[in-house]
Amino acid sequence: MQKEYIFYDNIGLDFPLSEEIELVKVASKGEYLVSNHPEAEAIIYAPEINFYLKQSNDTIAQKINNVTKLYAMRALGFDFAQDMDYSQEVGGKVLIVSEDASHEALKEELREDDFTVMLLSPSMILDVNGHIGDLHVTLKKEDELLELECDQIIWWNAPSFAMKQSGVYDPALLGLEGALKKLRDNKGEYHYKNYINYDPSICQYHERREEICGKCAEVCPTVAILKEDETKHLVFSHIDCHGCGGCISVCPSGALDYTQMPRIAFSHLCAYFKGATALIIPHKMDLGLIDIPLYEGVLPLMIEGEKYLHEAHLMTLLQTSGNPIIFYTDFISKGTGDVIRMINEIFERKYHKKAIYVCEDTADLARIFETMESFPECMYGINEDGLRKREIFSARLAHLVGDEDLGVVKAGEHVHYGDIKIDESKCTLCLSCVGACNVRALTAHPEDNSLRFNASICTNCTYCEVTCPEQECLTVVRDEISLKPSWFSQRIMAKDELFTCLECGMPFATVKAVEKIAAVMTPLFGNDEVKLRTLYCCAACKPKVMFKAHMENEMKGMNV
């Protein structure tokens, strides 16, 4: 039976590897899953394996064990991945946008490659829509608006609105050869994947009466996520998605998940880092430039989308490893940046140690190796199956806080946590706020007629505040995490007694609700005792009372 892992030894390995790994001395082809070298063909090429072997100061026994872990981590990502393969036909219609007349020569070069080419001045183009293989250009020629269709565009110093579309390449960024390579590689069939899974049931934008979220669309660098304002639906264009994951780190509820490393897969992956220090490196970073010995126990973790990690990911990794995390990257997304600052502040208060380091060069990395400290006391395991992003973070943070009061930390501009306040004297327990909350932070409890709230899983979206029908009853406390036990548990926000129908004795509303309606309607009903009595009757008894009074009046009339 063929093994799943292949190791192409072109470095003179001087110790054995696990029996799970096929060790070869020449480049080899086969149906392997993971390889350490591009010339050893496999579905997944994992460059971090050779990087680890070259740079690690681990003992030989540790290296044998850790190399197997690195293979297994890649296999785990493959097994849990939920991405699908799609393709788009791309024809040969190319638009060159440039003021430079010398690009006539480029036009001829592309024509020789069977492209159909048009050269336009950028001043003529008003807008670009669509995607690679189906781009629609609106242009103005003299006083006439024209529509042009093409498959790909080369545009020198292209404006941002054009660069958001797939199939638009800027030679000023890629170099002319790089842009031309893109054109030629894409022609025929363009392959792409879906990087995002979406659960509208917990989305804070989906079908709400008012726009209270939409962060994902705001941070999307392309046109992969659009908001339909009339219906409050999100529209996804997977072909335009770069897979950066920025939308996932700012999604407050966890409605978005990364298909190539779903949240539950990341949870399982963290188990490989127990007792180790994770050195997170986005794939876009050049491992060849990280030429520095790795401290003992440091394991690389390559990630595809450089921006998708959020608080539940990072907290799981910290509490599983018992060690700090090092993020080696030249860019931190808005959401991940907020989370790193927030978690670092929490760990500083609890352990007086830094939890997550960010660096982008080897000098910084060397300094981090010198100063970082472990915190095994934070280790904590939970079963994350079926839990949402907020629920995972809440359970983990609650364990870290324990019985202490560590004060308040601020959430961020792109990651929101908070609290609410309810004026119990004004709350009629109509439960509109419960209906507005789709993350189960606000819940109704018929067993004691109470309204309860768990701040730690609230997304701070404010939809409950705009839904509450009472004036100045419910207010939202924005962007604070209160590090004390009560913040993680359900608190009774309002409570009332049930009012029983004067006719049948059946409970039908709360005392406050009945009193409120009676206060509004009594002046309108005047001295009409029958109508006044209906204010204290259930829905079934109201018409009975009215009909009975009507019949009695009719009888009186007949007697007269």
The CATH number covering residue 483 comes to 3.30.70.3270
Q: What is the CATH number of the domain that holds 109?
A: 3.50.50.60
Asked if residue 393 is part of any domain, the answer here is yes
- Whether residues 343 and 368 share a domain: the answer is yes
Same domain, 268 and 361: yes
216: left (phi over 0), alpha (psi -120 to 50) or beta: alpha
In the predicted structure, residue 560 carries a pLDDT above the cut 60: no
Residues 424 and 384 in one domain: no
User: What pLDDT band is residue 1 in, cutting at 50, 70 and 90?
Assistant: low
Task: Say if residue 282 is in the same domain as residue 363.
Answer: yes
pTM: 0.87
Flag whether pLDDT at 380 surpasses 60: yes
Q: Which of 159, 150, 152, 154 is nearest to 174 (CA)?
A: 154
**Quick check: is 33 in a domain?**
no
Q: Are residues 332 and 270 in the same domain?
A: yes
3-state secondary structure at position 12: coil
Instruction: Clarify whether residues 445 and 539 are in a common domain.
Output: no
> How far is Cα 530 from Cα 522, in angstroms, rounded to an integer?
11
**Is 6 a domain residue?**
no
**Distance from C-alpha of 45 to C-alpha of 151, rounded to nearest angstrom:** 31
Burial class (CB in 10 A: 0-12, 13-18, 19+), 193: middle
Q: Which domain holds residue 234?
A: 196-258
- What CATH code is carried by the domain that includes residue 202? 3.30.70.20
Condensed to tens digits (0 to 9), the pLDDT of residues 267-296 reads: 999 999 999 999 999 999 999 999 999 999
Tens digit of pLDDT for each residue in 103-162?
888 888 899 989 999 999 999 999 999 999 999 999 988 888 999 999 999 999 999 889
27 is a domain residue: no
Q: Based on the domain organization, do 250 and 278 belong to the same domain?
A: no
Number of domains in the chain: 5
Q: Which of 232, 258, 284 is the last residue of a domain?
A: 258
Identify the domain boundary among 151, 171, 193.
193
Q: Are 229 and 253 contained in the same domain? A: yes
In a domain, 43, yes or no: no
Residue 39 lies in a domain: no
268 shares its domain with 359: yes
Among candidate residues 495, 522, 543, the one where a domain is terminated: 495
Buried b / exposed e along 508-529 (16+ C-beta atoms within 10 A): bbbebbbebeeeeeeeeeeeee
Same domain, 65 and 112: no
Q: Is residue 17 part of a domain?
A: no
346 and 394 inside one domain: yes
* Residue 559 CB burial class (10 angstroms; 0-12, 13-18, ≥19): exposed
Question: Residue 90 carries which side chain, given as an amino acid letter?
Answer: V
Residue 559's pLDDT is: 59
337: amino acid identity, one letter: G
Question: DSSP states of 142-178 as a string?
Answer: TTEEEEEEESEEEETT--HHHHTSTTEE-HHHH-HHH
Note whether residue 162 is domain-resident.
yes
Are 103 and 185 found together in one domain? yes
